[in-house]
Amino acid sequence: MTYQPAAIDDDLNILPKLPAWVTSGRAETLETVAFRSGTALTVLDQLVTDPRHGVPVKLLANQMALKAATATSKLEGRLAREADIRDAYHLTPPGEARGPDGDLLAFWRNAARLKLTGRDWHDSVQGLVGTAFADDVSRLMAVGADCAKSHGPLAGCIAVMRAVLEVDDRVERIASLLSDIVLAQALGWKVVLPVTAQHLTKTMLRDLIGDGQGVDLVVQQRILQSIEGTIRLARDLATRAAALRAVTPKLRAKGSKAAADLFLSEDAIGPSMMLSPTIQGTTIAMTDRAARRFCDRLVELGVACELTGRPTFRLYGVVP
């Protein structure tokens, strides 16, 4: 089958990317940040909303959720590593407590699953932020949305973060989440991509509510940096997804199609937990052994990799 790779190459050429003048050099003033973020957001918007580009959006969102969880863990002073957080989430048997790290990832994964359409999306956001903030959400979101309208999306992100942290300076995750929602709304996205938290530090957040000089610029730069990283990740995922889709017809195991689809929405897959006894989200049965062999086969074909480096409790995903 020689025609398949050619098709992938064509796909790659049309994937939108950041022009060199955005990535070269640093944005030194609010104006340049605004200009560059506009370009970056346009590119990201195209990648995320246009299905022709083949970006697996669910996988992207889950991957971003893991990064956001790692970043907020740092902000909250728990300093859990990405691998620990992933293990805590994926190795918890159903019905048992995930612990703080697993809960944090669950928070961000639920955030990435928020639907911003329909009349009740405020309710789901309130459910996510918990009791203490439930009443304030609408007001805080309005602060962010107003600022986004008058000063641009990144300024809106900062406004809502500042408003949240002024109420309580220890809810970094809620501040970042509402900022992500403001951004998603400003761009008219139906889903939330957790981009804000990734490069923030505790000092920046403290300066946001203190009298830090030029902190707005610094935080905007960090969010821009994260948006640029997301574009790279989205392009990378699109390539890897295309490769996986290309080999799927070659896989003969029963349920291969459904299992491969799962790889296009989940960033880490434990074969014995998510593919067996039935493939998650379907009723297709797969034995433990078949699930392991399937994952090994994907690794052999070079379209997936093992994430943990362990001999047991392995987790597989399309991105290393």
Q: Which residues bind other proteins (CB under 8 A)?
A: 76-79, 87-93, 96-102, 118-119, 130-132, 134-135, 168, 170, 202, 308, 310, 312-313
| Complex with other proteins: residue 167 or 305, whichever CB lies closer | 167
| Residue in the block written with tokens 């083949």 | 54
Q: Which is nearer to other proteins, 130 or 214 (CB)?
A: 130
* 116, 135 contact by CB (below 8 A): no
Could you tell me the smallest distance in angstroms from the CB atom of residue 46 to other proteins? 28
Q: How far is the CB of 272 from other proteins (least distance, A)?
A: 10
**Beta carbon nearer to other proteins, 178 or 303:** 178
Q: Is the dihedral of CA 97, 102, 108, 112 positive or negative?
A: negative
Q: Minimum distance from CB of 198 to other proteins (Å)? A: 19
Shortest Å distance, C-beta 313 to other proteins? 4
> Which residue, 228 or 267, is less far from other proteins as judged by CB?
267
DSSP string covering 189-243: -SB----SGGG--HHHHHHHHTT-TTHHHHHHHHHHHHHHHHHHHHHHHHHHHHH
Say if residue 252 is exposed, middle or buried (CB neighbours under 10 Å; 0-12, 13-18, 19+).
exposed
Q: Residue 162 CB, nearest distance to other proteins (Å)?
A: 17
Rounded Cα–Cα distance for residues 24 and 27 (Å)? 9
Q: Which is nearer to other proteins, 106 or 284 (CB)?
A: 106
Helices assigned H by DSSP within the chain: 3-14, 20-23, 30-49, 57-75, 82-90, 99-113, 121-129, 131-134, 137-151, 153-167, 172-186, 202-209, 215-247, 256-263, 288-300
* Tokens 């398949």 sit on residue: 4
Angle between helices 256-263 and 215-247 in degrees, nearest 10: 170
Q: Which one, 101 or 216, has the nearer CB to other proteins?
A: 101
Instruction: Please state the closest distance from residue 99 (CB atom) to other proteins, in A.
Output: 4
